Amino acid sequence: MQAELAAEPGILQFAWVIVVLPMASFALIVFFGKRMPWKGVEFGVLAVGAGLVLSLQVLWHFVQGGGPYEKGLTWAPVGPFTLEIGQYVDGLTAVMFVLVCTVSLCVQVYSIGYMHGDTRYTWFFAALSLFTGSMLNLVVANNLFQLLVGWELVGICSYLLIGHWWEEKINSDAAIKAFITTKTGDVPFLFGIFTLVFATGTSNIARISEAAEMGHISHGLLVVAALLLFGGAIGKSAQFPLHVWLPDAMQGPTPVSALIHAATMVVAGVYLVGRMFAVFSPAGSAMAFVSTIAGITMLIAALLAMVQDDIKRVLAYSTVSQLAYMIAGLSLGERGYTPGLFHMFTHGFFKALMFLAAGSVIHAVHSSNMSEMGGLRKSMPVTFWTFMIGGGALAGIPPLAGFWSKDEIITMAFKTGHYGLWVVTMLTAVVTAFYMTRAMLLTFFGEYRGHGHPHESPAVMTVPLVVLAAGSAVVGFLGAPQLSAVFADWVHFGPVEHEPFSYGFAAISVLGAGLGLYAGYSLYTRWTEREPLRALGPGYALLENKYYLDDIYLRGIVRPIQYRLSAAVSWFDRTLIDGIVNGVAKLTQGVSGGVHGFDLTVIDGAVNGIAQTAGFTGGILRYIQSGNVQRYAAFLFAGVVIMAIIITRI
């Protein structure tokens, strides 16, 4: 963050094009997709493909040792504050670009096969493009509000894609659960943004980071802001206690799980902490909180992964656990910055790979339950080998990617003196290896227990698997100290530090992995009707019910709001609001009644009075015209006399 801005930005100036390409593709697919020969897939794949090419060029800039670049445009002045839209491109951004574009491209190609024949095929690709564009926008944002826009947009896309088959209630319920749960985390996130804007007067990330490093923000405010921002990360990256949405999100199509809930969206929280590291780093108490949450999450999620029958759920809990690893890495401070983000990078590759492979299996056996699988390594060799590579990476088997990244975190935990966290990470690594072995054995080994005729998936699906597998195998070396750990050159906080490789710690990690592997092997080599882990007794029941957290949330939070709060609000609306409205109506009625009375009495009275006066006068004057001749004669004579008097007197 402190690196000076690049003197010759070159390609970096056009980094925003990478964001715009998928967005344009979204619009094109929505309007023209159905008419295209490939139903809109062309736009999506081309856009992300071009984006990937550009991303690699951007990364090349940093490989050559270039510096970061920032450019912002004023969107709207709001009083003393200015909303801007812009791009901040540094090593982290470049790395994220490559990750998002690679995984998105593989997923889209894969989906051509996986989603073939789906009723909303075109819309699926439109949503994937929109998601990719939103994620890239999140990553490239130079100010917090633009980041928030990307953040919310990926949330919307997640909701849309999880609920892709919304005709079944379980799918739409999962989409709503995901959205609401992440939204619960977004509220503190928003207030965190407000705190920082209040503290610094700007939402520009570079300037906020500068202010934090210079000490212009008071420590208390910094801690508060960090904790609030982390709230968003808890929601989006599925940490305890808001992790409950991620397993349910597996209701969505598997490519969605691979792209969003493994490689990209869920790491948005990790990315946020990384991006705002200048705010987190000095806030010691906040960092302690972060590491506590991470520690809790990684272990409980790994334990839950042990007892799942659904292969996707295993991978989902695994993702939660690995996300906790990344956050734990970041929580170690400056020295943990690079390891944490490196793990984010590698995990994206092998988790996406495993999800796609699982999707391939599900596509072949038409079920996602491992109890109905078995012996698939013979019928689906490519899927098998790629899944093995991914699983090995996850378990931390050298020289696969996960070994380099996870090992770094574990080692760093010890080196920075977080011994408690070190123990937890070690334990989790053992459990990780265990459940991974279990999953692989149940799926690919033994005898086939299902009723279908599994066969290998078409090339359009297996090629992306191979690509990602290659990535998982190789990418790790980017962080290998033996190969000068170039990743650290690109993504670092503070001065670049190359940690020396510690064989001792590496050995301990491998041992731990081996332990888990052995345990898994011994329990699951032969299929037994009864799940061996039931031997854990009541502990198993606890795990089976996900620690009863879902029940607690439902009874404790959702139901009271749903029923009592809504009833109260409804009462308020009916009694008070409607009361006011009705009162106004009654008042108007009364006023109109009064006006009516006035009209009747006064106005009509006046009019009638005039008529009555006329009638009355007429009644009097009527006597003059009586028809009686003598009456007329009397008037005549009277007139004569009066005239005589008047004339003679005057």
Partner 1 sequence: MSSQEYAFVVLALVGTVSAFRLVTARNVVHAALYLVVTLSTVGAVYLLLAAEFVGWVQILIYVGAIVILFLFGLMLTKAPIGREALDNQQRGIALVIGLLFLAGLVFLIQDAFHWSDPKLRPGVGSTLDLGESLFRQWVLPFEALSFLLLAALIGAVVLSRRDDQR
Partner 2 sequence: MIRLPLVLFFSAALFSTGVYGVLARRNAVLVLMSIELMLNAVNVNLVAFSQLWQHITGQVFALFVIAVAAAEVGIGLAIVILIYRNRETISVDEVNLLKW
Q: Which residues bind partner 1 (CB under 8 A)?
A: 628, 630-631, 634, 637-638, 641, 644-645, 648
Instruction: Give burial (CB, 10 Å; 0-12/13-18/19+) of 296.
Output: middle
Is residue 639 part of the contact set for partner 2 (CB under 8 A)?
Answer: no
Compare residues 602 and 643 and give the one whose CB is closer to partner 2.
643
Which of 528/625 has CB closer to partner 2? 625
- The whole-angstrom distance between residue 582's C-alpha and the CA centroid of its chain comes to 43
Q: How far apart are the first and last CA of the chain?
A: 122
Q: Which does 644 bind (CB under 5 to 8 A by kind): partner 1, partner 2, none?
A: partner 1
Residues 60-79 that bind partner 2 (CB under 8 A): none
Tokens linked to 228 = 């609030």
By CB under 8 A, what part of segment 401-460 binds partner 2?
none
Q: Name which of partner 1, partner 2, none residue 625 binds, using a CB cut-off of 5 to 8 Å depending on partner kind.
A: partner 2
The entry of partner 1, partner 2, none near residue 627 (CB within 5 to 8 angstroms by kind) is: partner 2
Applying CB under 8 A, does 598 fall inside the site for partner 2?
no
Alpha-carbon gap, residue 272 to 144, rounded angstroms: 10
Q: Is 634 in the site for partner 2 (CB under 8 A)?
A: yes
CA–CA distance, 157 with 127 (Å, rounded to integer): 6
**Residue closer to partner 2 (CB basis): 585 or 636:** 636
Taking the C-alpha atoms of residue 343 and residue 355, their distance in angstroms, rounded to an integer, is: 17
CB of 630 to partner 2, least distance (A): 5
Give the nearest distance from C-beta 618 to partner 1 in angstroms. 21
Note whether 521 and 437 are within 8 A (CB). yes
Pairing of strands 81-89, 69-78: antiparallel
Q: Kindly tell me which of 198 and 637 has the beta carbon lying closer to partner 2.
A: 637
Residue selected from 630, 646, 648, 649 as contacting partner 2 according to rule CB under 8 A:
630
> Mask of contacts with partner 2, 607-626, x by CB under 8 A?
------------------xx
Phi, psi of 87 (to 5 degrees): -130, 140
Shortest CB 622 distance to partner 1, Å = 15
Cα–Cα distances in Å, from 184 out to 100, 233, 249, 631?
Answer: 25, 11, 16, 104
Q: Does 627 bind partner 2 (CB under 8 A)?
A: yes
Residue 620 CB, nearest distance to partner 1 (Å)?
Answer: 16
Q: How far apart, in whole angstroms, are the C-alpha atoms of residue 152 and residue 290?
A: 22
User: Cα(174)–Cα(152) distance, rounded to whole angstroms?
Assistant: 18
CA 346 vs CA 188, 236, 339, 372, 449: distances in Å: 29, 19, 10, 31, 33
CA-based diameter of the chain, in Å? 153
Stretch that binds partner 2, among 13-21, 75-83, 116-124, 630-638 (CB under 8 A): 630-638
Quote the least distance from Cβ 623 to partner 1, whole Å. 11
Closest approach, Cβ 638 to partner 1, in A, equals 5
User: CA–CA distance from 442 to each of 453, 512, 527, 529 (Å)?
Assistant: 17, 22, 8, 12
Cβ atoms of 421 and 328 within 8 Å: the answer is yes
Residue ranges with strand state E in 415-510: none
Phi, psi dihedrals of residue 89, rounded to the nearest 5°: -115, 110
Q: Cα(416)–Cα(316) distance, rounded to whole angstroms?
A: 30
Residue 541: partners with Cβ closer than 8 Å, 6 or more residues away = none
The smaller minimum CB distance to partner 2, of residues 7 and 629, is found at 629
What does the chain come to in residues?
650
Partner from partner 1, partner 2, none contacting 568, C-beta within 5 to 8 A by type = none
Among 563, 571, 616, 637, binds partner 2 (CB under 8 A): 637
Residue 522 binds what, of partner 2, partner 1, none (CB under 5 to 8 Å, by partner type)? none
Q: Which does 645 bind (CB under 5 to 8 A by kind): partner 1, partner 2, none?
A: partner 1
Residue 482 interface partner, choices partner 2, partner 1, none, CB cut-off 5-8 Å depending on type: none
Task: Pick between residue 78 and residue 650 the one whose CB is nearest to partner 1.
Answer: 650
518 counts as binding partner 2 under rule CB under 8 A: no
With b for 16 or more beta-carbon neighbours within 10 A and e for fewer, the 110-136 pattern comes to bbbbbbeeeeebbbbbbbbbbbbbbbb
Binding partner of 538, given partner 1, partner 2, none, CB within 5-8 angstroms per partner class:
none
Measured from the CB atom, the residue of 504 and 627 that comes closer to partner 1 is: 627
Asked if 414 contacts 422 with a C-beta cutoff of 8 angstroms, the reply is yes
Q: Which is nearer to partner 1, 613 or 628 (CB)?
A: 628
We find the least distance from the C-beta atom of residue 628 to partner 1, in angstroms, to be 8
Could you say which of partner 2, partner 1, none residue 632 binds, taking C-beta under 5 to 8 angstroms by partner kind?
partner 2
Residues binding partner 2: number (CB under 8 A): 10
Binding partner 2 by CB under 8 A: which of 558, 633, 642, 645? 633
Residue 648 binding: pick among partner 2, partner 1, none (C-beta 5-8 Å cut-off by kind): partner 1
Nearest approach, Cβ of residue 637 and partner 1 (Å)? 5
| Residues sharing a CB contact under 8 Å with residue 537, sequence separation 6 or more, in sequence order | none
- Angle (CA) 472-475-481 rounded to 5° is 135
Residue 581 vs 645, nearer CB to partner 1: 645
Q: How far is the CB of 595 from partner 2 (least distance, A)?
A: 44
Q: Which stretch binds partner 2 (CB under 8 A): 62-70, 143-151, 549-557, 628-636?
A: 628-636
Residue with tokens 């010759």: 8
- Interface residues with partner 2 (CB under 8 A) are 625-630, 632-634, 637
